[in-house]
């Protein structure tokens, strides 16, 4: 299995406020963009177990957590004694908080927290793809608070970036969210309480029934007479309707969503369909020196290298065999691509997705008796790290000695 090391960073910044859970006695300082204790009458609380949580993250390509680092500043009193400190716990579900008890990760009781060094040493034994970091802020002197800017995790991933954004993230999201409504009208020759939707000529993948109306008696569709739907037999059950009446069934369906490389895809067996085509990359920008995760006890760590960001442009073509279906499908497609954040499932991170050119809808039938429309969209600034992280040695201490400023560094 080919894996590479990636870094997941949780910032305690204003932009990430919605993703941070603050416990009693802890605040996210807007002006300083950091976690700190709350001061009452300019005195910080010395109570134990005051904490904040990162969001729970679940990168689908995670093959193990292997490193940890916290970006924080501790404070000294006038005597030069460090009076602030941090503790940490981890969680797999966002509810149960775990700590390393010296032998295993177990549920933590009040007062049970790990140091950063203990997390670094034992995070590899923390199994599962989901993880949340809980940070405990402590001070023994009410005049001082620890300041926490971020926590970082080093993890192994088998991600393939070229497939990550469209094939493994956008396409599944489209299948989940693009669910238009279509209609099927039937003139009953006899009184009935059921209609078989397998008789519809268009091969819809029906998800659910929205509503059923007796159009003859209720032309303005005020009373929904739907009762139930059997997805296996595709039979809709409703309140009895007499012979000679027209029944309208409104149903939700999932169109086919595919990536294609040819204009020949438009086949009757594949519609309604949403096709991603003409994918091309542009605007590549190299990243600054990559993020790193350093073990502060040893100085050993890993740093991302040769990263870059790039825009991914593509055309979205949607095709139906009915003009009414084209209009309904168009609404769903435009809604999906209307300036949103797309969750990249392999990394559990977000990138911007939006429409860059919307085509006018011209529902005149094609030669194939199909109706089609298009728009162009863009995934903006998608990150790529195609090479594995490299081993680095962090600087633990800088020594400045002598009258002529003799400067040297020490590492782990």
Domain extent for 347? 162-178+260-390
Tell me whether residue 198 is in a domain: yes
Shared domain check, 102 and 59: yes
In DSSP notation, 85-132 reads EEEEEEESSSSS-EEE-SSSEEEPPTT--B-HHHHHHHGGG--SS-BE
Shared domain check, 383 and 294: yes
Burial (CB < 10 A; 0-12, 13-18, 19+), residue 21, is middle
Tell me whether residue 408 is in a domain: no
Locate tokens 């084209």: which residue? Answer: 326
Tell me whether residue 395 is in a domain: no
pLDDT of residue 361: 62
H or E stretch at 258: strand 256-259
Distance CA 337, CA 333 (A): 6
Distance CA 314, CA 317 (A): 10
Distance CA 409, CA 320 (A): 68
pLDDT of residue 369: 73
H or E stretch at 311: strand 308-320
Contact 124, 104 (CB under 8 A): no
Domain containing residue 296: CATH number: 3.30.2000
Shared domain check, 272 and 230: no
Shared domain check, 100 and 10: yes
Tell me whether residue 246 is in a domain: yes
Tell me whether residue 241 is in a domain: yes
Tell me whether residue 292 is in a domain: yes
pTM of structure: 0.85
Along the chain (412 residues), what's the average pLDDT of each consecutive run of 10 residues? 91 94 95 95 95 97 97 95 97 97 97 97 96 98 97 96 94 97 96 95 94 97 97 96 96 93 52 91 85 91 92 93 91 94 96 87 58 92 92 68 48 44
Shared domain check, 213 and 108: no
Shared domain check, 266 and 236: no
Backbone φ, ψ for residue 267 (5° rounding): -115, 150
């Amino acid at each position: 299995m080919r894996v590479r090391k990636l870094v997941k960073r949780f910032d305690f910044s204003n932009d990430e406020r919605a993703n941070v859970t603050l416990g009693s006695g802890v605040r996210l300082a807007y002006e300083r963009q950091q976690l700190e204790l709350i001061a009452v009458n300019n005195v910080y609380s010395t109570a134990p177990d005051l904490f904040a949580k990162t969001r729970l993250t679940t990168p689908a390509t995670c093959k193990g957590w292997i490193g940890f680092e916290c970006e924080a500043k501790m404070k000294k009193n006038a005597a030069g004694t460090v009076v602030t400190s941090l503790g940490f716990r981890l969680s797999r579900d966002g509810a149960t908080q775990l700590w390393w008890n010296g032998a295993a990760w177990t549920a933590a009781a009040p007062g049970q927290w790990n140091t950063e060094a203990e997390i670094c040493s034992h995070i590899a034994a923390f199994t599962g793809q989901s993880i949340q970091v809980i940070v405990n802020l402590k001070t023994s002197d009410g005049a001082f608070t620890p300041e926490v800017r971020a926590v970082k995790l080093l993890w192994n991933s088998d991600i393939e970036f070229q497939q990550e954004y469209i094939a493994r993230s956008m396409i599944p999201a489209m299948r989940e969210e693009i669910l238009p409504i279509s209609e099927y009208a039937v003139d009953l020759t006899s009184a009935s309480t059921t209609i078989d939707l397998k008789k519809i000529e268009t091969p819809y993948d029906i998800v659910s029934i929205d509503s059923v109306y007796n159009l003859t008696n209720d032309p303005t569709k005020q009373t929904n007479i739907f009762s139930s739907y059997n997805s296996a037999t595709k039979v809709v059950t409703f309140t009895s309707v007499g012979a000679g009446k027209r029944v309208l069934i409104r149903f939700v369906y999932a169109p086919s969503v595919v990536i294609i490389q040819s204009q020949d895809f438009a086949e009757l067996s594949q519609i309604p369909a949403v096709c991603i085509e003409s994918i091309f990359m542009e605007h590549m920008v190299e990243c600054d020196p990559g993020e790193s995760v350093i073990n502060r006890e040893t100085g050993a760590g890993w740093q991302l290298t040769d990263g870059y960001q790039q825009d991914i442009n593509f055309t979205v073509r949607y095709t139906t065999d009915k003009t009414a279906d084209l209009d309904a499908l168009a609404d769903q497609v435009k809604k999906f691509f209307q300036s949103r954040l797309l969750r990249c499932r392999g990394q559990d991170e977000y990138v911007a997705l939006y429409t860059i050119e919307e085509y006018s809808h011209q529902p005149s039938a094609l030669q194939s008796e199909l109706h089609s429309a298009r728009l162009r969209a863009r995934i903006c600034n998608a990150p790529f790290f195609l090479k594995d992280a490299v081993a680095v040695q962090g600087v633990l201490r800088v020594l400045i000695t002598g009258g002529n400023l003799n400067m040297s560094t020490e590492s782990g």
